[in-house]
Amino acid sequence: MRMRPTLSWTPAEDLPPGTTDPERVTDALGTGGVLVLSGAGISTESGIPDYRGAGGSLSRHTPMTYQDFTASADARRRYWARSHLGWRTFGRALPNAGHRAVAAFGRHGLLSGVITQNVDGLHQAAGSEGVVELHGGLDRVVCLSCGARSPRGELAARLEEANAGFGPVAADINPDGDADLTDEQVGDFRVVPCALCGGVLKPDVVFFGENVPPHRVEHCRTLVREASSLLVLGSSLTVMSGLRFVRQAAEAGKPVLIINRDPTRGDRHALTRVALPLGAALTTVAARLGVPLDGRAAA
In angstroms, what CA-CA distances link 251 with 114, 229, 269?
Answer: 20, 12, 9
Q: Please tell me whether 52 is known to bind a ligand.
A: yes
Q: Please tell me whether 117 is known to bind a ligand.
A: yes
Q: Please tell me whether 173 is known to bind a ligand.
A: no
Q: Please tell me whether 42 is known to bind a ligand.
A: yes
Q: Please tell me whether 163 is known to bind a ligand.
A: no
- For residues 22 and 275, what is the distance between their CA atoms, to the nearest angstrom? 9
Type of residue at 153: G
Q: Please tell me whether 33 is known to bind a ligand.
A: no
**Burial grade of 75 (CB within 10 A; 0-12, 13-18, 19 or more):** middle
> Is 135 part of the annotated catalytic residue set?
yes
Q: Please tell me whether 137 is known to bind a ligand.
A: no
**Active-site residue, from 61, 84, 123, 135:** 135
Q: Please tell me whether 59 is known to bind a ligand.
A: yes
Q: Please tell me whether 210 is known to bind a ligand.
A: no
Please enumerate in sequence order all residues whose Cβ is within 8 A of that of 5, keeping only pairs 6 or more positions apart, or say none: 51, 58, 62, 63, 208, 239
Q: Please tell me whether 128 is known to bind a ligand.
A: no
Q: Please tell me whether 197 is known to bind a ligand.
A: yes
- For residues 142 and 136, what is the distance between their CA atoms, to the nearest angstrom? 11
Q: Please tell me whether 45 is known to bind a ligand.
A: yes
Q: Please tell me whether 253 is known to bind a ligand.
A: no
What is residue 208's three-state secondary structure?
Answer: strand
User: Burial letters for 196-232: b for 16+ Cβ neighbours within 10 Å, e otherwise?
Assistant: eeebbbbbbbbbbbbebeeebeeebeebbeebebbbb
Which letter does DSSP use for residue 179 in this model?
A: B
In angstroms, what CA-CA distances link 95 with 31, 44, 58, 134?
Answer: 26, 10, 23, 19
Q: Show which residues are catalytic.
A: 135
Residue stretches of the annotated binding site: 39-59, 117-120, 143, 146, 194, 197, 234-236, 278
Residue stretches of the annotated binding site for Zn(2+): 143, 146, 194, 197
Residue stretches of the annotated binding site for NAD(+): 39-59, 117-120, 234-236, 278
